[in-house]
Structure 1
Amino acid sequence: MDKEGDEQKTKKRKVVVANYMVTVATLVVWWHEKHIVKEPYLDFKVTREIYLRRLYYGNNRVCVEQLRLNKHCFTVLCTNLREHCGLRDTRNITVEEAVAMFLYVLAHNFKNRTVNFNFIRSGETVSRYFNIVLCAIIKLGRHYLIQPETEMEGYEHEKWEWFQDCLGALDGTYVKVHVLLRDQGRYRNRKNEIATNVLGVCSRDMRFTYVLPGWEGSAADSRVLRDALD
């Protein structure tokens, strides 16, 4: 019995010593990582500034590839948004950065988290400024998009009375295209031609005001029109 009791005590001592050594080793590793091994310090503000300057102040080709605008057009757009839409720099974000994030999403259809990572901004910030720039762009459209007039003065022919408030006319047409063999079935129209279905709208003075290309030749005119109305 005494021998078994001594063995139990010895085993307990070994367990206590092992736990003590594990605790000491853990503390040593923690101290080493905290006070000796230093993580490289990243100044996110400086990193962001370098990225933005390279994006819209650097090479013109990079600006076009990333934002779909050259540097001159980008500068003009930001200036117009400031002058006509009241867009202003904030304490943390400039107009240029907000517009760049907006164009970045439109150009590449990126998700919020991708823009968040590239611009080193929170997802909430990206979403908020995207909506701010979007509203400003809509306001800017009023300065450039002029609605056609509905008056038709000067037309004395008797048939014109039925088009008193007419804005224009729309029609679809087929434009022959070359596509891959696997896609020819979708682009084959009722005339057995490989073509794309294009919707065009013109004003009463025979000027095109809207064109919707890209639909396959097999698409019905009603489907193309519904897409234009949406």
Structure 2
Amino acid sequence: MSLGCFRTLCDSLETNYGLRSTLNVRIEESVAMFLRICGHNEVQRDVGLRFGKTQETVKRKFFEVLKATELLACDFIITPRRQELLRIPDRLLMDSKYWPFFSGFVGAMDGVHICVKVKPELQEMYWNRHGRTSFNNMAICDLNILFTYVWNGAPGSCHDTTSSHDGAR
């Protein structure tokens, strides 16, 4: 994340979603701790050591930023009405090449590997067939090309069929 993007996020969380600095922890520090935990899968103990804070402080600040981020998500992630999700797009109905062959079609599913950095002791599990460490992410779209399901987190060495099978549970 660029510094400008980080500052914009912090300003937005403060201005629009009630995140506040305290005497000992600034907003930027709270958001940085939150992002280390979410983006780098660090544990509270390690984040506390990195930022010079107790685990209790890290936990409290994590949940404060999480609450503000949930409010931000409510403003930016807008789900369509159920009727819109079930409506078959006209371009599909009108195209004899696809209709009626896609009658009963629910959506499309695909996966992609996202390169990640992991601790040296975990790298073996995350190596993919291209010689990089990655997560295997899967997404499902409906007929209107709207995401209806996203699953991420399978280690890169996990095959697509394994990730889709595990994600369906």
TM-based fold match above 0.5: yes
Q: Go from structure 1 to structure 2 and tell me whether the alpha carbon gap of 1:206 and 1:113 turns closer, same or farther (over 3 Å shift).
A: closer
Unpaired runs of 5+ residues, structure 2, are: 94-99, 114-127
Alignment match, 1:148? 80
Larger gyration radius, structure 1 or structure 2:
1
Alignment match, 1:121? 53
Q: Is the 8 A contact 1:172 1:199 kept in 2?
A: yes
Q: Distance in 1 between matches of 2:88 and 2:40?
A: 48
Q: Is the 8 A contact 2:13 2:19 kept in 1?
A: yes
Unpaired runs of 5+ residues, structure 1, are: 1-68, 181-196
| Larger proportion of strand | 2
1:216 partner amino acid: H
Alignment match, 1:26? none
Q: Go from structure 1 to structure 2 and tell me whether the alpha carbon gap of 1:148 and 1:120 turns closer, same or farther (over 3 Å shift).
A: same
Alignment match, 2:123? none
Alignment match, 2:143? 204
Alignment match, 2:41? 109
Q: Deviations over 1:69-127 (max 9, x none)?
A: 11011011101111221111222211111111111222332222222222111221111
Alignment match, 2:107? 169
Q: Is the 8 A contact 1:112 1:126 kept in 2?
A: yes
2:107 partner amino acid: A
- Per the TM alignment, residue 130 of structure 1 is displaced from its structure 2 partner at its CA by 1.0
**Structure 2 length as normaliser, TM-score?**
0.61
1:201 partner amino acid: I
- Per the TM alignment, residue 203 of structure 1 is displaced from its structure 2 partner at its CA by 3.1
Choose from 81, 85, 89 the match for 2:13: 81
Higher relative contact order, structure no. (Cα contacts within 8 Å, ≥ 6 residues apart)? 2
Within a 5 Å distance, the mapping from 1:91-106 to structure 2 comes to 91-106=23-38
1:84 partner amino acid: N
Q: Secondary structure at the match of 1:201?
A: strand
Q: Distance in 2 between matches of 1:113 and 1:104?
A: 12
Q: Distance in 2 between matches of 1:169 and 1:114?
A: 41
| Larger proportion of helix | 1
Number of aligned residue pairs: give it.
Answer: 136
Q: CA RMSD in A?
A: 3.6
